[in-house]
Chains A and B, each alone.
Chain A
Amino acid sequence: MEASNHSDDFIPAGLAAYGIEADEIELAVIRAAHQTFWPPILELLELDTSQVPTERAPDLSQPPPSR
């Protein structure tokens, strides 16, 4: 199945799963945010990061320890 940013089902279903209520204005904000964020999130999920180690407790004041 192809991924999409179709929000009609995702947003109300997602909020309902958590028991979170939202009024119409809030839903409009959430839909706008979803339209902005979801396409790049889908691109991010396509990125194969299996060879990239996650830095354990990274010290962001320093460069990465090994490269």
Chain B
Amino acid sequence: MTWEQTIPNLIILLPVIGLILVGLIPSKHGGAIRLVGQLIPLAVLLLAGSLYGSFNILSPQGQFTSSIRWFTLTFPGYDASQHMFVMQEIPIAWSLSVDGISLALLMMTALIIFVAALASIYEVRRLKMYTLFLLLLEIGAYGVFMTESLIWFFIFFEFTLISLYFLVGQYGGFDRERAANAFLLYNGLGSLFMLIAFVMLFHATGSWDIITVREMLAAQPLEHSQSLFIFFLFLIGFGIKLPIFPFHRWMLEVHREAPPAIVMIHSGVLLKMGAYGLIRFALGFLPEIAREFAWLLAFLGLVNLLYGAFLAYVQNELRLVFAYSSLSHMGIVLFGLAALNAIGLQGAVFQMVSHGLISALLFFILGAVERRMQTSSLKTLGGLAEAMPILSGTLLLAAMANMGLPALSGFISEFQSFLGLFQSEHWLYAAVGLIALVLTALYMLRATLGLTFGPLKVPAVRSENGTVALDDVQPQEVMPLVLLTAAIILIGVYPNVLATPLAATLGDFVARMGGY
């Protein structure tokens, strides 16, 4: 195994080492625990950066592939020609690989998790347990985007489920346990839909390896009804995670209750796992069905887009404005997927990355405001620009990125998604969806302008003792703000930083779907 092949393994291994280290440090050494909790995401970020550096942009295949046989399953197959059972030896492997899509999402994940780890310094209560579950969450989040095995995909997926349950249930707001339970049951259901689909694919192809399954399905497509069934299992399973309109309730509760650092990861990374699953499996495995039901994806995207935007407009709680905004922006990802052409898919991936960065930034600022004001209710807040001009300025920048203003990452991703859908036969949805862009501007401006301009309002609930002063950005807050803002501007000004490594993979992807 060369050094480059080891890097993906190291990215998973580092949080595991971190888990053991933190487990061994007694909980009274808060500083050491915090240090481990921050160093590991930093190391992962650097490793991911080195992957980016040595990525071969011409190759559409997964790179840095490493595969180790984990165990062999002896499973009966039926030999129809001889009318008898044959025992097949099915290898199940630990395999990691990074292609263009994985790379883009991995970079984003590493960055957001690092920033979230920095933002976690405000968690002082039960720090050890927090760090432990955060590390477990990291294993899952990195692993999902890199694994080549359906079983490991499921396992990593469940890691994030288990860890987020505790992070929300322990460190959240008032109603945290209910939010954690809603999260657990909804997402548990989603992952079981996914598992059923995986097992069906296993029975059809006799393999758990993503590449093998994809190639076998391409060579020998399933019966139409069966593919249809699997497609809808994926759509519901990942639709819960994304979330798609009727399944979104849990996501609002988590956004409302979870601590800011966790919402950064949740909104920034975990929602994208749903979109990633849709691209990889629903579209990648079953392109014909995806083509047949592209209108449904576009329709669901439109519903998400408008529903989220309308509801974001009437919320009086900043957290919920951002939460509905996330819901709305996931609609744009669905638009990009529904386009089923290179530009649309690229827009979808761009939107995943860009929205991840923007929502992480928004929720980081929200956390900063909450710490100072002890509330995030729009009714009681106002005039923040007077007391904290830099923070307010960054908030406006993030809001503009969220609205999709040019030269920021939101613009480039929304533009491509819409363009893609306009070029496809379902352009009507895109045309209607344009309304949402106006709505986005409306709700973002309503929320942020009311928050920042005007005379400074200090909410009555704020008590002086034990609270952060009404200062502007503090030294420990500089790094997250700078990193996220820089990434947003970089993608906005020079989109090729993402587009170049994506091009080959997406080109291959679209070619396999028979598109252009």
| Chain A complexes with chain B | no
By a beta-carbon cutoff of 8 Å, the part of chain A in contact with chain B is none
